Structure 1
Amino acid sequence: MNLSSNFNQIVQKVLGEVDIEREELLEKISQKQDELSGFVTPEGAATIVARSYGIVPERKEPEVRKLRIGDLSAGMSGIEIVGRVALIYSIRDFERKDGSPGKVVNLLLQDKTEKIRVVLWDEKAVLVEEGEIEKGTPVRLKGAYVKRGFRGELELNLGRRGDIEIDPEDERAEDLPPLPESEVKIADLDPELEDVDLIARVIAVTEPRTFERSDGSTGKVASLILADETGQTRASLWNDKADLSHKISQGDAIKIENAYAREGWGNTPEVHVGRRGRIILSPPKSETSRLPEFEKRLLKIDEVEPDMPVLDLAARVRRVFQPQEFERDDGTSGRVMNAILADETGTIRASFWDDMVEECQKLSPDDVVLFTNARSRMGLGDRPEIRVGKRTGIEINPKNLRIEEQKPGRIELCELEPGLDTLEIIGRVMDISETREFTRSDGSQGRVASLTIGDQTGTARVAFWGEKTDLVSSIEKGDVIKLINCYSTAGLYGQPEIHVSGKEELKVNPTIEEDLPPLDELTENQLAEERVNIGKIKKEGVKVQVRGTIVRVLQRRPIFDICPECGRSLGSVDSSLFCEECGKVVSPEHRVAISTVVDDGTGNIRTVAFGKVGEELIGKTADEVFELFKESSNISELYDEFNIAGKEIILTGTSRHDKYFDQLELRVESVKAPDPTQEAAKLLEKVKA
């Protein structure tokens, strides 16, 4: 007998024994089914209503179908549900109000109908911690209840009276969909991959370091260098995940779940472990047996991250500087001596402290030096540098150790920033200035010539110094030039510019693969000043104009020094400094550097104003800022002098992507206050359009 006939039999029995109209009875049955959220069949609801009148149909129990995740709604309790674990978030330890410890972990459970977050507490969370429940495990939850979570989404909770069964025998478990393959090899990483699982061995690990976001909040990040049988990559651990770096050592095998991949330094994919990510510190040997065994190895310079507690590195000495004495805060004296090291991947500064200065004095240019048990810290220009202390082993010119020469790195003009070295740049010449002579601070004469080049991403000034000015005579407007082994610094107005002063190579109209824009197009783009809403700035290398309010001033050192002879950043603030490039002590020129966050109501963006642009923004010269900086004991007091928070401004600049923190910033080229007449005219034009 089918369901329809059973239902009709129950209805007829009630109508025959109770004084009730058919429509009223059917309405009561429908209400009862709604009351039970539709999880009882029409026949079951009719049976319940019949019993309320004292009538017991032949079927003794209502027919209730088994729940699926898609059937759940807030307020339901005593639920039994079956699903497959699709994601596992990090387990969190906490302390209750009574001081007792607790554990909690979130899972994402799915079946063929839907997904839902599941919250497990205490001894049930331990099942995840001990590996009883893994990604992909089928489970049955009994005695669960549904509520709205933090973001208003449904979540399933399993309290103390609830139960969880692993690999249950249930018809719902038989039709659970398999999880998509998420484990990838390092060689197969793609910058757009989400929910990545990765098993790898740790080659190097850094200490966590904090940073400030554009909204004023602080974040934390630590880095790992990982390797598997297919290759090597960098992994960034963000915020609470960064603290796990204290539990990870070189040589450890780890499993990362729910990570995402993004393009990193050198346009290679990197792994990021954020809020959803999970790190398993000791995965089963069955999963890690294929990994290469750990061998303590030498890092390349581009693999060095700030705050590595221990590292081994070999490099060639480029320059050695004079030792300097200083006084510590406690009144004791110290010594430091610096050297610039290089390999085929880049350059790095090494600082030798106190007694280790004697080891640095043994070094000469072109020596190969091997460091063991060194450490790294954040150095000048927010770049890592090697710190050489008492525990560091040093070997000069070890046998059978060969260091390849550094090769120039090709970048586009939108990627240019001050302080880069060994660059390869291609651009079309847009403008050429005549060679001019100048007098240095020591009375000697110098020469400088410059030109402006452009590519499809932006423009930049190129300065030729001394004998290199003779190269400009072979260049004409519209030519394509290729500069090899050049470097960058901050120009007078703060914009990054390219300098040619020594070993650089110039090629005029070489054969290139790039299709550079013609001269008239580059000129037109350079003059363009399109006013846009900040919220619409989505990519780098775009010249825009924005109008907004300074909502935050990032209180960092507001000034840096450059060499007046070669333009290189000296990275400090003093009255006399040693220039690495020129090989002598010089009287530095000061440059202002101001970072702010500007908001126009559609969004906000970090802005960076260097040089004369920074001076215009704060209304003070670089020399004035230099004196204030030397006299100020508190950097907040210094920024109070600038008084720019809340200021409404119009900025013109080029958007740039900060790859490390994955955010856009505006490199400011001009700043001005809004003119009421001009702004009214712009609004009128917009209304007319």
Structure 2
Amino acid sequence: MGIKMNEIKSESYITKIIEETGLNRKEIQDLVKEKKQELKGLISDEGALFIIAKELGVDVKTENKELMGDLDINISDITREMKNITLVGRIKDIFRVYEFDKKEGKKGYVGSFLLNDNTGDIRVVLWDDDVAIFQDNNFVKGEIVKVINAYPKEGRDGNLEVHIGRLGKVVISPEDVDYKKYPKIKDEPIPIEEVNPNLLSVSIEGKIMTKFPIKEFTKQSGENGRICNIIVRDSSNKIRVNFWNDSVDEIKKYEVGDVISIKNLKPRESNYRPNTIELNANNYTQVEKLNKKLHFKTEMVETIRALQEEEDLISFKGVITSIDNLKQITTNSGEEISLLNFIVSDDTDAIRVTAWRDLAEDLAKKLSTGDAYEFKNVIVKYNSFSGRKEITYSGDSSVAGADIQFSQLKSMESLNKGRDESFSRDFTKIEDINSPGFYEIKGFIAKPITNVNIYEACSKCYKKIDNCICDEQTDTEFRMILNLTIDDESGTIRATFIGESAEKLLNMKTDLVKKIKETPDYEKLLEKISTELAGKDIYVKGKAKFSDYTGSYEIMARDIKNIDISKDLEDKLKKIAT
């Protein structure tokens, strides 16, 4: 049998490496084995020798120019340990070129693009003179390029990306590539329901349903940061999009109701909303307002009881059995806004509906107790405070009179059934609390929660460890403290919740809050809590004492109870009748 050509080439590489480095044959064979393991067996012996020679500074290009073709690998096979790799794919996205100052005082440049083959996407980063390719008229989305002599590196977002080395380059429209292997890229947004964490970069289109105020925070490094969250909906679903730091400027000029296109977003699973995907903007994210309208088709849910099994956008019918007073509450940003709660019932169940801002003011004028209505495009979501699904009336919602009748209307059952005995219902007006003692008050939560304090306490006396005076050492536990402002229209009072009462109020365990507080998602948790609690009617039972700091009486909560406003109204009518 004759000697194969690849064996001749391999032997010539080994000979040249021995001559120029002094390594022996056994050492070279060991290096070949390691290199093939590093590249997951995707390369031949001669290919491994070619790479080893290059890493050792031995020039073997003249030995076999065709061998470069063996070094092409799939994007999905790239690992952090690889070196001098060659990739082929289509340009999926092109990002901006940034200018920066180098340490030596010179100007530096960095740009990147997203490369796609039939196995995945990866960001390709170019520096300084190499960014000139971005000015080439042929360097466009969808074009096939060959990336030569690149090396993998972990990017700022934690994902693997490839950088062009000193001797590397990007070849536009390479001739030695089978174009059929690389399908054309459709530059289209994907439905929100198809977003998943395995996608490196996604683009979506949808309507801004909610836009939260821009918040500033301090990073662990001590630097200041910014965040702005929006909720975007398309015909398939909705999703939260987070804009951080410099990317906040991309969303500033857009408002609720705008239909927008957002390109280059990174999906990830929410840190404190299990099984929920969020999208994160970055320096490459692009936002554009679209001149189109979106219409959402929603299912008509037949009974109010069935709403407890629903999620997201729906339509339903019912009779308004009670309407709360229009309230003014303060948001986290300090904005004074209107809030309206009312109860809608049928013969199966009842449900609370909440409207905000101008929508609340409009509905307060339009709705009447005892009338039947059809509510379209309202949002069903779980409220951890009440333990039930509730309805939010949004900008895309509508209401119209309905021709329906029920023989008997259900009232919403108390969420704390079985605990009524802990409240005497002998309530004191807040303005009348002017001495120490135990009081029961009822009112609504008027201001957002801006912080949740957690301290390490003695498990016996519940005092902070530094203040513990127990005779013997005991175990410790973490306890929550939070403060609310309660308004009963006669006045306001600060209510403090500690330990179990705080956990009951938030419907969250201290350990979970503590974990989230140590992450960047803490601000979002406060936002979620404030949204759920703002304007809620509650009973509070506790001990009042005078605060020298605020110059007024405050109440230390011992127990709380969510108010069923329809039942509360019924009790009032009975009292009047007697």
Structure possessing the higher relative contact order (Cα contacts under 8 Å, 6 or more residues apart): 2
TMscore range, shorter length: 0.3 to 0.5
